[in-house]
Chain A
Amino acid sequence: MTSTHSLRRVFVTYSNTLVSTRPHCQPRISSWTYGVLSLSRRPLSTHMFPPPKSPRARVVSARDLYAQRNRNLFMYTSAVVILAVGASYAAVPLYRMFCAATGFAGTPVVGTGRFEAERLVPIEGAKRIKVHFNADRSEQLPWTFTPQQKYVTVLPGETSLAFYKAKNNADHDVIGIATYNVTPDRIAPYFAKVECFCFEEQKLLAGEEVDMPLLFFIDKDVLDDPACRNLDDIVLSYTFFKARRNAQGQLEPDAPDDVVQASQGWSDVKFKLTTETSETTRD
């Protein structure tokens, strides 16, 4: 009595579990039922599922199986989501590092790579390059701006000083901004300035005269460049403009844009980079 009762209970529990999770299919038939049915020689349904191999050894119900699969899917999906979010955060500094390393899309290569102490050693025995100095100023700037030496002959890799003199002839303080340009163009990647007086405002008091130094060198890789092989003279030209404040409140040269671009050596280039400025206020 107990044995049949227990058997029946197992059967009932088993078939109940199966039916509840597979409503759209035929119910699975236990081996006990299969045995009974085959003995009774009843016609069997064509959609009969094969009996499970060992129903007692590992009772993994379908609900648990699906729960396990759902949990796996959830884990994989959340891992992919977290990976994607992390990659989108990491992309910004990684892209910046890539641009800085390769100079992609015109990123300037700044930093101590160009100005390392090892690069600043003169190459003895190399051909000397004569650097001529030129000074220009805009007509609106009431200054006298001249170089103090006509030229200097330098070795590649050798840092040297040069001086310019500026005198403010007006009776009020004037702020000036300088741009510079190196000719010929093929020497421009090798001409490096350690420190100078360009691109920042220089305020001269009324009637003041001041000396402006410039520390520069020509990189030693110019010796390996075949285009610069018989290059003996280069011209370094500075142009001083009167400064005015633009719409953002920053000082910029007070001259028409084409004059400023020409002072930086862009006069011969047909398509050049220019910025469109909105209405500017005069200082």
Chain B
Amino acid sequence: MSFGRPPSISTGFQVTPPNRGSFPLDHYGECKEFMTKYLDCLKNNSSTSSECRHLNKDYLNCRMHNGLMEKDEWKNLGLDNLKSDGLINRK
């Protein structure tokens, strides 16, 4: 099916659940520092997402390692072609 159709009752005006469902709640704050790093990067780059995408990868990596997210390849999440730090342990 194509995406480029004008919204109609069957496409645009219905609220659909997300593709992978819901993130489990991070009750113990295991990935909180990755989140604060990402939010600081956003503040410094006037909220442009492209510069901070490597921190996205780090945050999702943390979630995967702590069992808070299903493990998946980066290309299925759109995060595989990034220039990244190389500092933090990643898949």
User: Roughly how many angstroms separate A50 CA and B78 CA in the complex, as a whole number?
Assistant: 87
Query: Are A227 and B6 also in contact (CB < 8 A) when A189-B11, A195-B22, A208-B27 are?
Result: yes
Chain B, residue nearest A199 (CB): B17
A212, B23: Cβ atoms under 8 Å?
Answer: yes
Q: Is B86 among interface residues, defined by CB-CB distance under 8 A?
A: no
B21, A200: Cβ atoms under 8 Å?
Answer: yes
Question: Which residues in B have their C-beta under 8 angstroms from that of A185?
Answer: 7, 12-13
A163, B35: Cβ atoms under 8 Å?
Answer: yes
Q: Is B89 among interface residues, defined by CB-CB distance under 8 A?
A: no
Query: A255-283 interface mask toward B, CB cutoff 8 Å, 1 = contact, 0 = none?
Result: 00000000011000100000000000000
B78, A198: Cβ atoms under 8 Å?
Answer: no
Q: Is A141 among interface residues, defined by CB-CB distance under 8 A?
A: no
Q: Is A246 among interface residues, defined by CB-CB distance under 8 A?
A: no
A121, B23: Cβ atoms under 8 Å?
Answer: no
User: Roughly how many angstroms separate A179 CA and B42 CA in the complex, as a whole number?
Assistant: 26
Q: Is A62 among interface residues, defined by CB-CB distance under 8 A?
A: no
B3, A190: Cβ atoms under 8 Å?
Answer: yes
A211, B12: Cβ atoms under 8 Å?
Answer: no
A221, B50: Cβ atoms under 8 Å?
Answer: no
A189, B78: Cβ atoms under 8 Å?
Answer: no
Query: B48-91 interface mask toward A, CB cutoff 8 Å, 1 = contact, 0 = none?
Result: 11100100100110010000010001011111110000000000
Chain A, residue nearest B75 (CB): A117
Q: Is A114 among interface residues, defined by CB-CB distance under 8 A?
A: yes
B52 smallest CB distance to A (angstroms): 8
Question: Which residues in B have their C-beta under 8 angstroms from that of A195?
Answer: 18-23, 69
- Please provide the chain A residues from 175 to 203 with a CB less than 8 Å away from any CB of chain B in the complex: 179-181, 185-186, 188-190, 192-200, 202-203
A20 smallest CB distance to B (angstroms): 68
Q: How many residues of A contact B (CB 8 A)?
A: 69
Chain A, residue nearest B16 (CB): A108
Query: Are A114 and B19 also in contact (CB < 8 A) when A149-B39, A185-B12 are?
Result: yes
Query: A36-63 interface mask toward B, CB cutoff 8 Å, 1 = contact, 0 = none?
Result: 0000000000000000000000000000
**Stretch with Cβ within 8 A of B (4 or more), from A10-18, A67-75, A88-96, A152-160:** A152-160
- Please provide the chain B residues from 5 to 34 with a CB less than 8 Å away from any CB of chain A in the complex: 5-7, 9-23, 25-27, 29, 32
A120, B75: Cβ atoms under 8 Å?
Answer: yes
Q: What are 30 inter-chain pairs, A to B, with CB distance below 8 A?
A: A101-B1, A103-B10, A110-B19, A115-B19, A117-B75, A128-B48, A149-B42, A150-B47, A152-B49, A154-B50, A158-B78, A159-B79, A161-B60, A186-B7, A186-B12, A189-B3, A189-B12, A193-B18, A194-B19, A195-B18, A196-B23, A197-B22, A199-B17, A199-B18, A205-B27, A210-B27, A210-B29, A214-B23, A264-B15, A265-B15
Residue numbers of B with Cβ under 8 A of A are 1-7, 9-23, 25-27, 29, 32, 35, 38-39, 42, 46-50, 53, 56, 59-60, 63, 69, 73, 75-81
Additional pairs, 20, CB under 8 Å, beyond known A160-B49, A210-B27 = A103-B1, A105-B10, A106-B9, A107-B10, A108-B14, A113-B1, A115-B19, A120-B76, A153-B46, A154-B50, A186-B6, A186-B12, A189-B3, A195-B23, A199-B17, A205-B27, A211-B35, A215-B56, A225-B4, A269-B13
